[in-house]
Amino acid sequence: MGNHLVKKNSINHDSNFHKLFSSYKLINENRVGFDEREHLGHALIRDIFKGNFSSPIQDILFDSDTNILDVGCGSGFWLMEMASDYQKPNYFGIDILPIFPEFTCPKRIKFRQGNFFKSRYEDNTFDFIHMQFLVCDFTVDQWENFVFQELARILKPGGWLEICDPEFKFENDGPASNKLNSAVCKNIRSKNGDPLIVHRHRSLIESIPSFSSSTLHHEKRKFPLCSLDNKELGELGGFHTKESCRNILQGPVGKDLNIKPKEIDSYLDKMSREFILSRSYFHVHRFYVQKSWEV
């Protein structure tokens, strides 16, 4: 799934996330590398949580009338894997970047390039909505006043919402990783985002009337950056984070830290050594909740 044929149009490709991590131009210059990192990130989250989802939706996965949406679907790895494991539902993905496969996916997956804020899906359309690692794609105002309201609107009564987001905070960090993380958080805040908005997900979700009467489930896991409990998982987690930080340092954060392109490799090597010596990790959270039947 490395090389994709994608549609080109005039949609603005910028989002807070892609301004921070890598521009659309950089992604196009190394599409294979970007896809590989996206795939690895997907596999790591799946293995950390021991599955592609935690919501109790098994009964709807064998129904051809089931509609499943992935918001911020990226290269489509979550959707492709779900469609391979559960072949009955109809799958939909939306992302601001045209990086999903156009000709190499099952017909039951429909991708849309566009801004979620302007998607205008019909009310009560989806049985399950999945959203992952969009913590810095939205401003605080959007999280507070739009995101969960819109997700509730397009979710069917009795449907499930599942959202997975990280904390932008290395635990057991060293000087280099702390410096980079502080610069990343400063950059996110400068764009009216909140790098720790995940700590507010519970209260924001429970403030939505159609979710407030349901039990909100919460799972918190460690994303290892070195060999903690699982050697392979830790090594892959450290590698994925290192390569993500490489993209960050090639953008505005690298300029803020006055790190020149020729200095990036040495900075990342120093950070990787800190991960191992300090046994570093960060937390990821998965929330899932059912929309009330009475709306």
pLDDT tens digits for range 217-238: 999 999 999 998 899 999 999 9
Alpha-carbon span 101 to 71, nearest angstrom: 16
pLDDT tens digits for range 204-218: 999 999 999 999 999
In sign, the C-alpha dihedral spanning 12, 18, 19, 22 is: negative
Alpha-carbon span 147 to 155, nearest angstrom: 12
Selection from 6-20, 32-46, 97-111 with the highest mean pLDDT: 32-46
Pairing of strands 217-224, 281-290: antiparallel
Position 99 scores a pLDDT of 81
Position 14 scores a pLDDT of 45
Let me know if 274 is exposed, middle or buried by CB neighbors in 10 A (0-12, 13-18, 19+): buried
pLDDT at 9 over 50: no
Query: Residue 83: phi, psi to the nearest 5?
Result: -65, -25
DSSP 56: S
Note whether 177 and 271 are within 8 A (CB).
yes
Q: Is 16-290 in CATH node 3.30.70.120? A: no
Note whether 92 and 67 are within 8 A (CB).
yes
Taking all residues of the chain, what is their mean pLDDT, rounded to a whole number? Answer: 89
Confidence of residue 203 (pLDDT cuts 50, 70, 90): very high
Residue extents of the structural domains in the chain: 16-290
| Mean pLDDT, rounded, for 262-275 | 97
Tokens encoding 124 = 């009560």
| Mean pLDDT, rounded, for 106-116 | 90
Amino acid making up residue 276: I
Share of the chain above pLDDT 90, in %: 77
Q: How far from chain centre, in Å, is Cα 237?
A: 15
Note whether 193 and 136 are within 8 A (CB).
yes
Alpha-carbon span 10 to 23, nearest angstrom: 16
Note whether 255 and 190 are within 8 A (CB).
no
pLDDT at 108 over 60: yes
Alpha-carbon span 129 to 111, nearest angstrom: 14
All residues at 6 or more sequence positions from 206 whose CB lies less than 8 Å from its CB, including other chains: 212, 216
| Mean pLDDT, rounded, for 129-155 | 96
Enter the pTM of the model: 0.90
| Mean pLDDT, rounded, for 32-39 | 80
Position 26 scores a pLDDT of 61
Position 20 scores a pLDDT of 54
Position 98 scores a pLDDT of 82
| 254, HSE (Cβ side, Cα atoms, 13 Å) | 20
Tokens encoding 30 = 């190394």
Minimum mean pLDDT range among 14-28, 153-167, 207-221, 229-243: 14-28
Pairing of strands 155-166, 217-224: unpaired
Alpha-carbon span 5 to 103, nearest angstrom: 7
| Mean pLDDT, rounded, for 260-268 | 96
Q: How far is CA 59 from CA 30, 127, 183, in A?
A: 40, 11, 45
| Mean pLDDT, rounded, for 38-59 | 96
